[in-house]
Amino acid sequence: MTRKLAHRAPSGPGTEPRWTHGAKVAVGTAYSTSSRVWYTLDAGSITEVYYPTIDTPQIRDLQFLFTDGETFFHDERRSFASEIDCVSEAALGFEVTNQENEGRYTLHKTILGDPYQNCLLIRVRVEASLELLSKLKVYVLCAPHLEIGGWHNNGEILHIGDYQVLLAHKGNTWLAIGATVPFTEASCGYVGE
């Protein structure tokens, strides 16, 4: 298996980092104490991820972006009406339904903390007409704030065979984002650059 580093985030340090707003609709974690990951949700997106304790945020937010490449560009926090339900009465996992404000497409997410690893799992499905699905491009946008801060985070793209994994690191803390359906494009950079 081939592993190589393709890109590092250019032109740092970028604009001054900020935390997400304090409003939260949900707090989640895994059902097992083997995982030390906690997360919060608001406006249908993940607003913070905490590790290794509930008072140590590592991610400011993680959301999905959408475009048809011609007429619109939407971000999950501003362009959707969201509903959030628990996956069950005894679990701190969530079913999120985000409908685009004009009703053209819907994003369905199941968000769970992995019970045996320090990992957040997100299952994503998009519903739209076949015509729109053929044009729709979906992006994941993550703002790492590792070791409780946005300064001095480093971003990279790791190639493993046909897969690209987004990496961020600071000090001894690492973050990796991968997908079972491989990313066709990937980039990393600093806000405002």
Same domain, 109 and 75: yes
Residue 131 parent element (H or E): helix 130-135
Same domain, 68 and 13: no
Domain closes at, from 126, 144, 162: 144
Least confident range from 1-5, 60-64, 151-155: namely 1-5
Same domain, 65 and 133: yes
DSSP code of residue 17: P
Same domain, 99 and 131: yes
Same domain, 131 and 192: no
3-state secondary structure 18-68: CCCCCCCCEEEECCCCCCCCEEEEECCEEEEEECCCCCCEEEEEEEEEEEC
pLDDT value for 101:
96
- pLDDT > 90 in the chain, percent: 69
Same domain, 185 and 171: yes
**191, 52, 26: which is closest to 112 by C-alpha?**
26
How much is the average pLDDT of 16-31? 85
Looking at the structure of the chain, the number of domains it has is 2
Whether the bond into 57 is cis, omega within 30 of 0:
no
Domain closes at, from 104, 128, 144: 144
Same domain, 96 and 138: yes
Same domain, 108 and 185: no
pLDDT over 80 (residue 6): no
The burial class, CB within 10 Å (0-12 / 13-18 / 19+), for 105 is buried
Return the C-alpha torsion angle 189, 94, 119, 79, nearest 10: -10
Q: What SS3 class is residue 185? A: coil
Helix, strand, coil shares, percent, the chain, to 5: 5, 50, 50
User: CATH number for the domain including 118?
Assistant: 2.70.98.10
56: number of Cβ within 10 Å? 15
| Residue 93 structural domain | 21-144
Same domain, 71 and 117: yes
pLDDT over 70 (residue 76): yes
* pLDDT, tens only, 115-150: 999 999 999 999 999 999 999 999 999 999 999 888
**Distance linking the first and last C-alpha atoms of the chain:** 33
Domain closes at, from 129, 144, 159: 144
Identity (one letter) of the amino acid at 56? Answer: T
Paired tokens of 136: 């729709």
* pLDDT, tens only, 164-193: 999 999 999 999 999 999 899 888 887 777
Is the pTM of the predicted complex or chain greater than 0.95?
no
pLDDT value for 33:
87
pLDDT value for 9:
64
Same domain, 122 and 166: no
The mean pLDDT value of the chain amounts to 90
pLDDT value for 157:
92
**178, 141, 148: which is closest to 163 by C-alpha?**
178
How much is the average pLDDT of 36-53? 95
How far is the C-alpha of 182 from the C-alpha of 163, rounded, in Å? 6
pLDDT value for 10:
66
- pLDDT > 70 in the chain, percent: 93
Same domain, 92 and 67: yes
Same domain, 7 and 59: no
